[in-house]
Amino acid sequence: MLCDLEHDELTPHIGGAQAIVFAAGAGPGSGPERKQTVDYGAAVKCIEAAQATGVDRFVIVSSIGIQDAVHAGPMRAYLEAKGAADDALRTSGLSWTIVKPGVLTDEPGSGTVDLSVGPARRDPVSRDNVALVLYHVLLADNTIRAEFELFDGPTPVRAAVEALQPGSGPVNVV
């Protein structure tokens, strides 16, 4: 079933979900208004739908560089929208995880990554590796209320996610 994140009521589309992964984005060709309605607005609609339907687990794909959005030139609107969505999720009461991928590539996934917290790097990560990390994050309670940056790297994904410990290592627990 298809759904328009900007215009549709989302709760009927949640069904019996156990978790929500928000990985949508307005895209590089869109203007600041669309970044606000998708990167922020649609994320908030999904958060509210999760709350309304009792889906506690929520993972959001965010972005590196949010902390420096004011100096980001043409990326500013995107980074501000992503940052506001992250803030909304942090205060939602849901069991959240914020994943901040590096520069996305279409290279085949290696199954190995580097999970870290700032300062923001501009290193690449394959979309395949992002998807694999998202899958493992959903299975790992140690990633609840954590945020981290994601890059291609030397550590097998499962081991990297399992090694994340709230309060230590490369996770920023809020």
Give the catalytic positions in this structure.
Answer: 78
Quickly list DSSP for 16-85.
T-SEEEE-----TTS-HHHHIIIIIIIHHHHHHHHHHHT--EEEEE--TTGGGGGG-GGGHHHHHHHHHH
Backbone phi and psi for residue 30, each to the nearest 5 degrees, phi listed first = -90, 160
Q: Are strands 112-116 and 172-173 parallel, antiparallel or unpaired?
A: unpaired
Rounded Cα distance between 34 and 96, Å, is: 24
Intra-chain end-to-end CA distance of the chain, in Å: 35
